Amino acid sequence: MSGFLFEPAAVPGVPVRGETGLYPVGRIFCVGRNYAAHAAEMGAEVDREAPFYFTKTPASLVASGATVPYPSGTANYHHEMELVVALGAPVFRAGVDEARAAVYGYACGLDMTRRDLQDVAKEKRRPWDLGKDFERSAVIAELTPAAAFGTPGPQRIVLSVNGAVRQDAHLSDMIHGVAEVISHLSGYYHLAAGDLIYTGTPAGVGAVSAGDRLEGTIDGLAPVRLTIGPAE
């Protein structure tokens, strides 16, 4: 017996290319407005000085290939296609070289968003949790080890809904690159192996409906897929 009063929630695990063991997820950080064209479509200014963040709880993770119910509390459920970085080493107050070396791997992910609730939060200067951190809102595909992927930059990042392209950019369009984000975030947290960072979405975010099939790709990574089911 563990000594707990009831069985604790399981640690979420993400499959890794070439491994039988799963990558155990600790925390989930997300970067806001990290592509200029997306910031513009949201009517927001870009802060080129420093990235900003919100978080999702590990309970929000869902594996690629799932069918998720159209979530409660929203009438404007949006897709955000993102590169996810998985850390493999502790990082605290690190420079960019140490930050880069701490990357375990990369995956395609979706930062699913209740946009109407996020918009209300922005307008009322409230936290974004209701819009961002809810069950099955952090979709992740199989991880690819960093050495097998290479350096993020020239790879194309694309999201299609029912076969029609909605988001299409390159990772080099990111305002704050992967190593820079990790380095900056490590000034505020003792980052650790198991921490995921969703690195922001390109322009073209939009609403999805029950029955929609989403597919997101980044060159060199396993695609992320999600089907939207009926409202829960």
**Residue 31: CB minimum distance to Mn ion, A:** 7
Among 64, 118, 183, 201, binds Mn ion (CB under 5 A): 201
Measured CA angle at 176 (ends 120, 29), to 5 deg = 55
Please state, in angstroms and as integers, the Cα–Cα distance from residue 183 to each residue in 87, 91, 108, 194, following that order: 12, 8, 21, 16
Q: How many residues sit in the footprint of Mn ion (CB under 5 A)?
A: 3
Nearer residue to Mn ion within complex by CB, 144 or 199: 199
Contact code string over 8-27 relative to Mn ion, x by CB under 5 A? --------------------
- Give SS3 for 12: coil
Using CB under 5 A, pick the residue from 80, 133, 142, 215 that binds Mn ion.
80
Q: Smallest gap, in angstroms, from Cβ of residue 113 to Mn ion?
A: 7
**Residue with Cβ nearer Mn ion (111 or 133):** 111
The reply on whether position 60 binds Mn ion by CB under 5 A is: no
Cβ 21 to Mn ion, closest distance in Å?
A: 28
Q: Residue 80 or 195: which CB sits closer to Mn ion? A: 80
Stretch that binds Mn ion, among 12-20, 115-123, 157-165, 200-208 (CB under 5 A): 200-208
Query: Nearest distance from residue 165's CB to Mn ion, in Å?
Result: 18
212 contacts 228 by C-beta, under 8 angstroms = yes
CB 174, min distance to Mn ion, A: 12
In this complex, which beta carbon is closest to Mn ion, that of residue 12 or of residue 51? 51
Of the pair 144, 201, the CB lying nearest Mn ion is at 201
Shortest Å distance, C-beta 198 to Mn ion: 6
Binding site for Mn ion (CB under 5 A): 80, 111, 201
